[in-house]
């Protein structure tokens, strides 16, 4: 894989708060620039018989848009977020139980899917659910000049020729999820993966810092 | 004995085959099931195609209707794909409103159409701001045996290539469109996107074109869509176990080879239909 020329990856300002809701077992709000998502996790709880899986927990992901009902687009995002969480969660430790993750969109200013993933990971962490690794979402936009922009805003997304979102896991920085829009070459894909893996280190550092800050207040 | 083993320990059963680099149905790991294609199967639709990938059967019908373009894009028509998974195709689907898989597949097909530029929506415009075509692409699965997305994309592409739109003229004095059903023109297909799906077993073994059984037992599945210019239109991996860069490269090469095969198949079928006429 080729080394990317641009080593200083710029992400917008990140913000995160955990345990801000009282009812869910875990909650978080995640901000990337102006994009903001609120996440809540319920579980492990009793599961409906029709959804019961005998050897692991059933995870349900619900994405709520800002206005109106969720549409077909949200279904595809829900599927991606759910299968990413399932890859990280040790669901076999809670067989025949249900986990529900609700993601409420507060404001969309680009890189939405990656913000959903980050909010989801922080909420799962807050709920204290056992996970084999952490994960984060990184969105890369390739603009008309072929430059790669990480964590693009809505305006940058609109101008881009290709948009890719990856979920990267924390242990070996490998890609668990990928979702793309627009057409691109194999070389561009590999470059974007390399950039996302680098950016993920920054995001995991942010995770660590925000959790540390939170526990330094409590203890 | 083998049947009992398969029922009791399905994953172990598959592993014992994969260890020998083959699969329970006799295929190699990177081998597709036989793909057959029939176009123009629905005479009442403007374009249609029936695809079989092994047992998986998908039919696509395209209906064109005249409508007003949206205010945001006055010089564009639009395409509305819909994937239907009726209870007929597998016991896993219940009657009622479309489930998550059907909705996610519909959105995926819509994304592929948009990303690949298979049809430029400008071509569907008849008069700017006044009249355009809307193509309803209804894709229905008749038999579900895995690898739905690949079959859907082939069915859609073949049906689009088969679509004949009647000529429309607008009478300037009355401002009413006049449809000439006698004279029909084919759609302009800019790109030929073809999907290739993979499944990952035990975090390392990659298999191509999974059956429904293999899909259920695998730890991850993903789809790569490429066009004839070797550009990627979609790398869709909804989750599951992580994948290394080398493996991904391997999959992309397999996908490009598959694109060539399918494009050749579609061209051949279209040729033979023309010859029969």
Pick B244 or A1 by higher pLDDT.
B244
Tokens read off for B265: 């198949």
| Cβ <8 Å between A180 and B222 | no
Q: Has residue A4 got a pLDDT over 90?
A: no
Tokens read off for B28: 């190699």
Q: Phi/psi of residue B91, each to 5°?
A: -70, -15
Distances (CA, A) of A41 to A14, A69, A129, A142, B94: 21, 20, 10, 34, 28
Is A186 near chain B, with CB under 8 Å?
Answer: yes
Is B10 near chain A, with CB under 8 Å?
Answer: no
**Cβ atoms of B238 and B111 closer than 8 Å:** no
Interatomic CA distance for residues B213 and B98, integer angstroms: 22
In this prediction, residue B43 has a pLDDT band, given cuts at 50, 70 and 90, of very high
Number of domains chain B is built from: 1
User: Chain B neighbours among A 162-181 (CB < 8 Å)?
Assistant: 164, 167, 169, 172, 174-181
User: pLDDT digit string (tens) for A179-200?
Assistant: 999 999 999 999 999 999 999 9
Relative to beta strand A98-107, strand A135-142 is unpaired
pTM for the structure as a whole: 0.94
C-alpha distance from A212 to closest chain B C-alpha (Å): 28
What integer pLDDT is reported at residue B59 of this predicted model? 97
Interatomic CA distance for residues A193 and A175, integer angstroms: 8
Length of chain A: 219
Sequence-ordered strand ranges (E) for B209-257: 220-226, 232-236
DSSP collapsed to 3 states, A75-140: HHHHHHHHHHHHHHECHHHCCCCEEEEEEEEEECCCCHHHHHHHHHHHHHHHHCCCECCCEEEEEE
For residue B20, being part of any structural domain is answered with no
User: Chain A neighbours among B 196-215 (CB < 8 Å)?
Assistant: none
Backbone φ/ψ region at B240: left (φ over 0), alpha (ψ -120 to 50), beta: left
For residue B11, being part of any structural domain is answered with no
**Cβ atoms of A102 and A119 closer than 8 Å:** no
User: pLDDT digit string (tens) for B118-166?
Assistant: 999 999 999 888 899 999 999 999 999 999 999 999 999 999 999 999 9
User: In the predicted model, what is the mean pLDDT of residues A114-123?
Assistant: 97
Q: Considering only CB atoms, which chain A residues are within 8 Å of B116?
A: 183
User: pLDDT digit string (tens) for B69-87?
Assistant: 999 999 999 999 999 999 9
Pick B2 or A186 by higher pLDDT.
A186
For residue B207, being part of any structural domain is answered with yes
Q: What is the CATH number of the domain that holds B194?
A: 3.30.230.70
What integer pLDDT is reported at residue A9 of this predicted model? 83
What integer pLDDT is reported at residue B176 of this predicted model? 81
For residue B21, being part of any structural domain is answered with no
Is B13 near chain A, with CB under 8 Å?
Answer: no
For residue B99, being part of any structural domain is answered with yes
Residue B71 burial (C-beta neighbours within 10 Å; 0-12, 13-18, 19+): exposed
User: pLDDT digit string (tens) for B220-252?
Assistant: 999 999 999 999 999 999 988 888 888 899 999
Q: Has residue B96 got a pLDDT over 90?
A: yes
In this prediction, residue A84 has a pLDDT band, given cuts at 50, 70 and 90, of very high
User: In the predicted model, what is the mean pLDDT of residues B8-28?
Assistant: 91
Interatomic CA distance for residues A161 and A184, integer angstroms: 8
Q: Count A/B contacts: CB-CB distance under 8 Å.
A: 95
| Cβ <8 Å between B242 and A72 | no
Q: Which of A75, A135, A200 is most worth mutating to test chain B (most B CB atoms within 10 A of its CB)? A: A75
Sign of CA dihedral B260, B266, B272, B274: negative
By C-alpha distance, the chain A residue nearest B248 is A190
| Cβ <8 Å between A179 and B243 | no
> Least CB-CB distance to A183: which of B233, B237, B243?
B233
Tokens read off for B165: 């739109």
Centre a 10 Å sphere on the Cβ of residue B88 and count the other Cβ atoms it contains: 13
What integer pLDDT is reported at residue B175 of this predicted model? 76
Centre a 10 Å sphere on the Cβ of residue B169 and count the other Cβ atoms it contains: 11
What integer pLDDT is reported at residue A3 of this predicted model? 39
**Cβ atoms of A189 and B235 closer than 8 Å:** yes
pLDDT over 70 for what percent of chain A? 95
Concatenate the DSSP letters of all residues of B108-121 into one string: HHHHHHHHHTSS-G
Sequence-ordered strand ranges (E) for chain A: 14-18, 26-32, 35-45, 58-64, 98-107, 135-142, 148-150, 162-169, 175-181
SS3 call for B182 = strand
Q: What's chain B's average pLDDT? A: 92
What integer pLDDT is reported at residue B66 of this predicted model? 93
User: In the predicted model, what is the mean pLDDT of residues A90-94?
Assistant: 94
Q: Has residue B61 got a pLDDT over 90?
A: yes
Tokens read off for A70: 């969720």
Interatomic CA distance for residues A119 and A37, integer angstroms: 7
Interatomic CA distance for residues A69 and B255, integer angstroms: 36
What DSSP character marks residue A131? B
For residue B18, being part of any structural domain is answered with no
Q: Considering only CB atoms, which chain B residues are within 8 Å of A176?
A: 237, 239-242
User: In the predicted model, what is the mean pLDDT of residues A50-66?
Assistant: 94
Q: What angle do CA B94, A69, A52 make, to 5 degrees?
A: 40
What integer pLDDT is reported at residue B177 of this predicted model? 84
Q: Which of A177, A185, A190 is most worth mutating to test chain B (most B CB atoms within 10 A of its CB)? A: A177
For residue B12, being part of any structural domain is answered with no
Interatomic CA distance for residues B25 and B4, integer angstroms: 17
Residue A49 burial (C-beta neighbours within 10 Å; 0-12, 13-18, 19+): exposed
Q: Which domain does B139 fall in, by range?
A: 31-276
By C-alpha distance, the chain B residue nearest A176 is B242
What integer pLDDT is reported at residue B198 of this predicted model? 95
Q: Has residue A219 got a pLDDT over 80?
A: no
B113: Cα separation from own chain's centroid: 10
B188: Cα separation from own chain's centroid: 18
| Cβ <8 Å between B107 and A185 | no
Q: Has residue B45 got a pLDDT over 80?
A: yes
Domains of chain A from N-terminus onward: 14-215 (3.30.230.70)
**Cβ atoms of A175 and A195 closer than 8 Å:** no
- Find all residues with CB under 8 Å of B138, minimum gap 6, and list them: B60, B61, B62, B63, B82, B84
Is B107 near chain A, with CB under 8 Å?
Answer: yes
For residue B23, being part of any structural domain is answered with no
Interatomic CA distance for residues A164 and A181, integer angstroms: 6
| Cβ <8 Å between B114 and A189 | no
């Amino acid at each position: 894989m080729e080394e990317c020329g641009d080593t200083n990856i710029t992400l917008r300002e990140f913000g995160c708060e955990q345990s801000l809701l009282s009812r869910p077992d875990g909650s978080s709000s995640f901000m990337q620039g102006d994009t903001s998502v609120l996440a809540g996790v319920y579980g492990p709880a009793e599961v409906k018989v029709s959804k019961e899986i005998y050897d692991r927990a059933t995870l349900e992901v619900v994405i709520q848009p800002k206005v109106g009902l969720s549409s077909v687009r949200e279904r595809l995002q829900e599927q991606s977020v759910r299968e990413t969480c399932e890859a990280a969660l040790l669901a076999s430790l809670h067989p025949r139980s249900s986990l529900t993750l609700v993601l409420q969109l507060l404001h969309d200013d680009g890189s939405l899917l990656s913000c959903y993933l980050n909010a989801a990971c922080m909420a799962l962490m807050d709920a204290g659910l056992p996970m084999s690794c952490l994960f984060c979402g990184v969105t890369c936009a390739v603009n008309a000049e072929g430059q790669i922009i990480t964590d693009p805003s809505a305006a940058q997304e609109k101008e881009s020729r290709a948009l890719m979102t990856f979920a990267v896991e924390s242990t070996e920085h490998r890609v668990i999820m990928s979702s793309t829009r627009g057409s691109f070459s194999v070389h561009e894909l590999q470059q974007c993966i390399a950039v996302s893996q680098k950016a993920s280190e920054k995001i995991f550092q942010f995770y660590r810092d925000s959790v540390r800050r939170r526990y330094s207040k409590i203890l | 004995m083998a049947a009992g083993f398969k029922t009791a320990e399905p994953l172990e059963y598959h592993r014992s085959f994969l260890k020998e680099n083959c699969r329970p149905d006799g295929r190699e790991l990177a081998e597709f099931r036989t793909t057959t294609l029939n176009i123009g199967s629905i005479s009442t639709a403007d374009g249609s195609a029936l695809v079989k990938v092994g047992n998986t059967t998908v039919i696509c019908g395209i209906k064109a209707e005249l409508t007003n373009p949206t205010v945001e894009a006055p010089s564009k028509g639009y395409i509305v794909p819909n994937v239907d998974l009726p209870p007929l195709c597998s016991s896993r689907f219940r009657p009622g409103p479309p489930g998550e898989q059907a909705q996610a597949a519909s959105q995926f097909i819509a994304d592929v159409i948009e990303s690949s530029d298979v049809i430029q929506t400008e071509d569907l415009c008849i008069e700017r701001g006044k009249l355009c075509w809307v193509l309803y692409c209804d894709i229905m699965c008749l038999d579900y045996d895995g690898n739905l997305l690949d079959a859907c994309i082939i069915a859609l592409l073949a049906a689009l290539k088969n679509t004949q739109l009647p000529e429309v003229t607008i009478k300037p004095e009355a401002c009413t469109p006049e449809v000439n059903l006698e004279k029909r023109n084919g759609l302009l297909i800019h790109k030929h996107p073809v999907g290739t799906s993979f499944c990952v077993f035990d975090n390392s073994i990659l298999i191509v074109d999974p059956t429904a059984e293999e899909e259920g037992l695998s730890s991850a599945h993903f789809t790569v869509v490429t066009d004839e210019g070797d550009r990627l239109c979609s790398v869709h991996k909804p989750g599951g176990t992580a994948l290394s860069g080398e493996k991904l490269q391997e999959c992309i090469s397999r996908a490009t080879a598959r694109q060539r095969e399918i494009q050749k198949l579609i061209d051949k079928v279209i040729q033979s239909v023309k010859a029969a006429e």
